[in-house]
Amino acid sequence: MTNASAAVRDFGPVFVLLFGLQFISMGAMEMSGPFWPIQIKLLSPSDSVFGLAGVGVYVCPMIGMSLTSTFWGRMGDRYGNRLMMVRALGGLAVTQVLVAVAQDVWTIMALRFLQGACAGYIAPAQAYGVQITGGKDRASLFAWLQVATNVGSLGGAFLGGLILDYFPFAAVNLTAGAICALCAAIAWSSLPVPALGAIAANPAGAAIAKPAVSTGVPIGALLALMGMLLASRMVLQVPFSLYMTQIFGARHWVAGLTYGLLACGFVVAAPLWARLFENRMPSYVLGGNVLISAACALVTHLAGSTDSVAAFALLYFVWGALLGGTTPALLALISIAVANDRQGSVLGLAQASQQVASVSGIIAGAGVTQFFGLETAFPLVATLYALSFFSALGIWLKTGHPKGS
């Protein structure tokens, strides 16, 4: 609560609206997330189609987003990130309604791809936040927006389940579409247009918006590291529920609760990591991610080795807490490395990279567990985190680590 009050005090009332829009819109999109396999199974004419479409329904939006995020980022730099937020929310609303009435798996796949291509809300929201705050406390800003996404995902999945208990699947998507349309209207009518020259008038914001060469941290290396960390996390996206039920014999509510602990850990720890990394040298943040990568490798190895559900759940929470120091902190370094008038482009590129990494992780996890068994899931995750550790260590050593950083 104290951290939340400090965020409102530091960023101002616009932050509350931005946080609320992120929370509600991401929650709306996650209302159908856990339940797509049920709908795809119902509409699939065969098991082979279900196997392909069951993965595609999650991967298609990511592919669409990866192909268009950089373009929408450039449009945000040219025409305003606020407009891009409204456009993305409007696109989500329209495609959710179309998906609700689709009764063919391939039509749903196409619409899910279109949904990702039209969406891309998070990147312009981040760029808009940088504009409004003048580039102040980016690590905290990105951390709190990630918190909104995670809390919204948890609440949205719960609300979607309640709707599905009493209404057909289409009602979930229609409700989500209506919520996204409302968010688009609120964003258009309530979010202020950043004043021209506001960034330039902010010396602190202007001072930190320097090229990557001035910090010694290549943006490409940061994107690669962030992608590796994210791919490691996404390996369990498809096999997690099967792992819980078949390896532990856990009931579905236990699997759902444990799954949510990852997001809970992130929500609790992300603002704390942001405070730790705020106004630190890039080498300090990278050094922290070296240690986090090693800790994630250890935690996921232990999670794959335990036969106790309670210990597994605790390790899952710890894993989520560790992840709170990865993506927001690395995004802040990427954002700092470019001028404020290019925030949309670079954060759009970062979002595209994240989607590619997510798709890679999901496909790797589904493929390896399908051919080699569920027992290989966590060894794969731990191995990927070990590779992330060596990558982070190499970047850290190349950037240098002066005393006091």
In 3-state terms the chain splits into helix, strand, coil percentages (rounded to 5) of 85, 0, 15
List, in sequence order, every beta strand (DSSP E) within 219-322. none
pLDDT tier at 185 (50, 70, 90 boundaries)? Answer: very high
Buried b vs exposed e over 89-122: b needs ≥16 C-beta within 10 Å? bbbbbbbbbbbbebeebeebbbbbbbbbbbbbbb
pLDDT at 93: 93
Distances (CA, A) of 227 to 2, 253, 323: 32, 31, 13
pLDDT single digits (tens) 58-103: 889 988 888 888 888 888 888 888 899 999 999 999 999 999 998 8
Q: If you average pLDDT over each of 72-81, 190-199, 341-350, which comes out highest?
A: 72-81
Of 223 and 201, the structure prediction assigns the larger pLDDT to 223
Instruction: Please name each of the domains of the chain with its CATH number.
Output: 1-207 (1.20.1250.20), 209-405 (1.20.1250.20)
Among candidates 320, 288, 261, which has minimal Cα distance to 395? 288
Asked if 381 and 164 touch (Cβ cutoff 8 Å), the reply is no
Tokens of 104: 């063919």
Segment (H or E) for 389: helix 377-399
**Two tokens, residue 186:** 């609120």
Distance, in Å, from the CA atom of 153 to the CA atom of 197, rounded to the nearest integer, reads 36
pLDDT at residue 5 above 60? no
Candidate from 5-19, 61-75, 108-122, 132-146 with smallest mean pLDDT: 5-19
Rounded to an integer, the average pLDDT of 242-255 is 80
Q: Whole-angstrom Cα distance, residue 256 to residue 259? A: 5
Distance CA 24, CA 27 (A): 5
Q: How confident is the model at residue 208 (pLDDT cuts 50, 70, 90)?
A: very low
Q: Encode pLDDT of 298-337 as tens digits.
A: 999 999 999 999 999 999 999 999 999 998 889 888 888 7
Cα separation of 174 and 185, whole Å?
A: 17
The answer on pLDDT for 217 being more than 80 is: no
Q: Which of 151-165, 198-212, 230-244 has the highest mean pLDDT?
A: 230-244
Least confident segment among 151-155, 158-162, 204-208: 204-208
Q: Which of 13-27, 115-129, 250-264, 290-304 has the lowest mean pLDDT?
A: 250-264
* Sheet strands (E) in 71-228: none
In the predicted model, is pLDDT for residue 206 greater than 70?
no
* pLDDT (mean) for 21-28: 88
pLDDT of residue 22: 87
Cα 337 off chain centre by = 21
**pLDDT band for position 143 (cuts 50, 70, 90):** confident
3-state secondary structure of 23: helix
d(CA 32, CA 28): 8
Mean pLDDT of the chain: 83
pLDDT, greater one: 253 or 383: 383
